[in-house]
Structure 1
Amino acid sequence: MKNLDKLFWAFVLLLWTAVTSAEPYRSKIYHDPEKKLTKSVSLSLKELEQQFSSFTDAYNISSAGQQLANSYLQQGEYKKAAEYFEKSLAAEGLADAVNQQILLQLSKIYLLLTDYKQALITLERAKKNLTEVPFELTILTAQAQYGMSDYLGISETLEPAFEKRQQLNESQLKQMLALYHNSSHYHLSIKILQQLLQQHSDVSDYWLQLTSIYLMQNQYKNALDQLALARQKKIYFRESDLLLLTDLYLLNKAPEQGAKLLQQAIENNEIEDKVELQNKLFNLWLQARENKFAIAAAQRSLQLAPDTELSLSLAGLQMDERQWQQMNQTMLQSCTKVLEDKYVSKANLLLGISQFKLGDKEAARRSLINATLIGGSGDKARQWLKFIQAKPATLNELSEITKPCIPEDPDVYIGAIKIDSQTQTSQSNLKNIKEKLLSENTPKLVVKTVKKLRLYTVQLTTTLDQLAVKTKINFMKLAMALVKAGGSIDGPFQLIHNQQKVPSQSITLTLAIPYKGSANSKGRYRPKSTKNFKCASTIFQGSSTELAEQWKTLYEQSLKQGLKPTGTSRTVILKAGVDGGNPTMELQLGIE
């Protein structure tokens, strides 16, 4: 999860950058220069308006009404402009061609005033007696229907233009694209974008927009094919586009292709070589089971910036590859500074294994004893102590964690115990020490009640290895759907899980965003109101690999305190990780 938040926001940013603006009507209002009032006109605007009601001739009424309407239109007084255009039309004193232009202007004014019903009525008047409806009237009608949320009507209105899409220019196609996309006619949006690409295959935005629609439809293979083809055609790619393509390879179970793409882009100086990208490259090679390439990426990342968690992962890979000397060097380098408490046990375990494999059994014994003195990898360390047939630890050895891999906080182990170094440990002493260690190293548990929430939700079923990527993508879709449905985000994103046991293969979650405003159901996206939620809560900041262990600890701690879990849990993302760091989350275990 830790490198996806930047991609998440970069991906949202690239969506629909070329689609029409939020005020598509204002720039299109027709101003007739021949109808502008100037000083040469015998009657001033005020005088003309005062005498307007005295006109009896149809031509004078229509002509004066048109002049007054155009003047008010230039001043931005749209209601007055609409009023006089209506009076001009009602008098029927002008030619049909002129009235047609007035109706067109009037419909745009009603759109500006968000009076969509009156805009539709006006547009129908403009279409009357026409043998063929011009594209401009068609698009304005669809815009009015969009304003009234008549999405089915949009499809029907645009159908004649859609059938002739090969004959439309770029501007016309983009207007249709905006309406189709905003009304969720994604299959038609795809056809329009394909037509745009036939005409303008060098425009990167069209490739990216088509990719994004495939993603919104969960058509990951089509999304990959589209973006990979754009890459093959040497379309300009930003860093965010390259990262999206690598994630699409991962989603389509081709992490090796994604890794090759990213590594080539770095080597060719297409994108800057930085820690976040090397971490991503490491994870891609790791999922491709290419350990040697993953090791190289991790080493390069550590050259750019030290990272304890990555060092531990690197040492684990070096152990798999039986690179004992390199593994030992990795751990010694990682332990040149004090470690965060959560890393100390595993660091000592890995250091001890490397020391044993290099023939230093006594140093290995001490490191492995250190690993048992703080929560994390104690069980594995004890197994290794048994395997190497190490002599039992003395109580003095159990009283402190020795260098090189030591914690920031000296209070996380039993440093206060001072006893004779010759005294051997008994089983009861070891039990007491273990209980004290567990009590001091367990995250703080708080029992609280979360007040009822209004959540916008979507169900997600995925495999564990795809969870991080698919969670990010589906949270993006959920946020977009919420805004389209009329709501706005009102709190941190949440993952709701309704199973007590952590699944081994696939998992079903509810992604939820607290919202305010009025949000309707939209496809598979649903608003939901929750009841008060009583829970055992703890704050967690760590990697995704540590998350399951933290949930297990919270569950066991709750049982020890006599609490009864309900089977429902929430993971609340309080703060996204910065520059590749781990996010801060609140784990909420539902209790009776």
Structure 2
Amino acid sequence: MLRWLVLLCLLSASALAQEIDAEVYVAIQGATEAEATGDLSKARQLLEAALPQAGNGSLERALVTQRLAYIAIANQRNTQAIDWLREALAQQQLEDAAALQDRQNLARLLVQEQRYPEAVKELEVLPRSDNNRQLLVQAYRQLGQFRKAIPLAEQVVREKPAADDIWYRLLVGMNYELERFDQAVRWQQALLQRAPESADNWRQLASMQSLAGEQVAAAATLRLAREAGIELETTDLENLIALHAHSGAPWQAARLMQALLDEGLLSSSADRLRRLAYLWQSARDYEPALAAWERVARSGNSTDRLQLAWLQYQQRQWQAALATLQAVQPANASQRRQLQSLKQAAEAALARSESGSASSS
């Protein structure tokens, strides 16, 4: 909860009694006592009752509305708190230090309530402390104003290389959103150097490298992580592949999976090879897709051999398709129909090809 006893920053109790209306002073004192006992409801009632005696533009109204704002924050009523803080500041009666703190709290509340345009207006005129700059970067990011957000975050880490990790994470995240994956890799590498014991940092770096088209480097990163004693489960590697596949990047998923298999980080099981084949095929990279299906088909599975033959047929490799079909032993009526249909189509296509070659010669 935000600290709201800002009256202590303004005036001593005796000075306060001389500065403001006696009835308002009594209400403020009563509210202070109620707050001390945790009775925020009573404190709010006392302050609201004093509002009619606190005229616009007065110190009384500034103090009462300010106190009401922080009671609203304590009750997690941020919208009310925003309104009260604005009213307190509008009186222009608070001392500079108190007004500055109120404006900073107002900006934070606006960010929390996702009122980003309003937050930006407040933050752009506040002193550029680290906290204020962080809020401003977050607000710019939410508004899609990356041209303002990224330079500001980069300025912070240039000035203070030891700045909190949040700045580096913001830079990773914003560059990721812009699909500037090479820059995301750069900032994720900085995070990894700060905390090489973090498995998340290794996984994130490998993910960014893969998104940047550096699948071999991503696999090498994961291998180095294991060599460094970082515990990476097989599911971690599988999830990384799935991330690309589900985001509509089957080529990157296939290339990453191939690199992980080549590094020995994943074993070459029939299920994984089958998945690799489908990924290459989804990416329309048919040469490695055929190679993967040929490896899978060696297991003798009729479904896999039919899939290989179909892909060979699609790639106009009719002789190879017919040879593959010769080894298929249908397991049911459906496979027999598929086999017969594909065989007839391949034979007809091969005959047309040979006929065309003979006539042209």
With the shorter chain as reference, the TM-score category is 0.5 to 0.7
Q: How does 1:345-384 map to 2 (within 5 A)?
A: 345-347=341-343, 371=344, 375-380=345-350
**In structure 1, what residue type is equivalent to 2:306?**
E
Give the residue type in structure 2 aligned to 1:309.
L
Task: Give the number of the structure with larger relative contact order, counting CA–CA contacts within 8 Å between residues 6 or more apart.
Answer: 1
247 and 315 in structure 1: CA distance in 2 versus 1, 3 angstrom threshold = closer
**Counterpart for residue 408 of structure 1:** none
Look up the SS of the partner of 1:101 in the other structure: helix
Cα shift at 1:167: 0.7
Q: Of Structure 1 and Structure 2, which has the larger fraction of its residues in strand?
A: 1
- 2:3 corresponds to which of 32, 37, 43: 32
Contact 2:4 2:67 in 1 (8 A): no
After superposition, residues 159-174 of structure 1 pair within 5 angstroms as: 159-164=154-159, 166-174=161-169
Quote the residue 2:339 is aligned against.
343
**Pairwise CA RMSD:** 4.6
> Partner residue of 2:150?
155
Corresponding residue for 1:478? none
Whether the aligned pair in 2 keeps the contact of 1:145 and 1:153 (CA below 8 Å) is: yes
Distance change (3 Å), C-alpha of 1:78 and 1:183 = farther
The correspondence for 1:138, drawn from 118, 128, 133, is 133
- Quote the Cα distance in structure 1 between the aligned partners of 2:184 and 2:312: 49
Q: What code does the residue aligned with 1:339 have?
A: Q
Q: What are the Cα deviations for residues 552-585 of structure 1, in whole angstroms up to 9, with x where unaligned?
A: xxxxxxxxxxxxxxxxxxxxxxxxxxxxxxxxxx
Pairing 1:226–2:197 present: no
Structure-2 residue corresponding to 1:297: 296
User: Offset at 1:138?
Assistant: 0.4
Q: How does 1:159-558 map to 2 (within 5 A)?
A: 159-164=154-159, 166-182=161-177, 188-213=183-208, 219-220=212-213, 222-234=214-226, 236=232, 237-241=236-240, 248=252, 251=255, 260-261=262-263, 265-266=266-267, 273=269, 275=271, 277-280=272-275, 287=287, 297-300=296-299, 302=301, 306-307=303-304, 309-310=306-307, 312=309, 330-331=327-328, 333-334=329-330, 337-339=333-335, 341-347=337-343, 371=344, 375-380=345-350
User: Is the 1:142–1:158 contact (alpha carbons within 8 Å) kept by the matching residues of 2?
Assistant: yes
Structure 2 residue 66 is the aligned partner of structure 1 residue 66: yes
Q: Tell me if the contact between 1:72 and 1:78 (Cα under 8 Å) persists in the aligned partners.
A: yes
Question: Closer, same or farther in 2 for the Cα pair 1:92/1:314, shift >3 Å?
Answer: closer
Q: CA separation in 2, counterparts of 1:225 and 1:175?
A: 23
> Corresponding residue for 2:29?
none
**Residue 297 to residue 211, structure 1, CA distance change in 2 (3 Å):** same
Contact 1:298/1:314, CA 8 A, preserved across alignment: no
Q: Is the 8 A contact 1:78 1:113 kept in 2?
A: yes
Segments of 5+ residues of structure 2 without an aligned counterpart are 7-31, 281-285, 355-361
Cα deviation, residue 45, structure 1: 1.5
Provide closer, same or farther for how the CA distance between residues 187 and 261 of structure 1 changes in structure 2, counting only shifts above 3 A: closer
Number of residues of Structure 1 aligned to a counterpart in Structure 2: 301
- Provide TM-score, normalisation by structure 2: 0.63
What is residue 88 of structure 1 aligned with on the other side? Answer: 88
TM-score calculated relative to the size of structure 1: 0.41
CA contact (8 A) 1:66 1:88 kept: yes
Shift of 1:161: 0.7
Shift of 1:122: 2.1
Query: Within 1, Cα distance between the matches of 2:342 and 2:46?
Result: 90
Contact 1:146 1:183 survives alignment (8 Å): no
- 1:295 touches 1:314 (CA, 8 Å); kept in 2? no
Distance 1:55 1:306 in 2: 83
More helix by share: 2
Shift of 1:198: 1.1
Residue 107 (str. 1) matches residue 107 (str. 2): yes
Cα shift at 1:249: 9.0
Work out the CA distance in 2 between the residues paired with 1:280 and 1:340. Answer: 24
3-state SS in 2 of match to 1:334 = coil
Matched-pair identity in %:
14
Distance 2:294 2:116 in 1: 61
Contact 1:249 1:258 in 2 (8 A): no
Q: Distance in 1 between matches of 2:270 and 2:72?
A: 58
Deviations 1:268-307 (A, max 9, x none): xxxxx453x23245688x946997x9655323372xx844
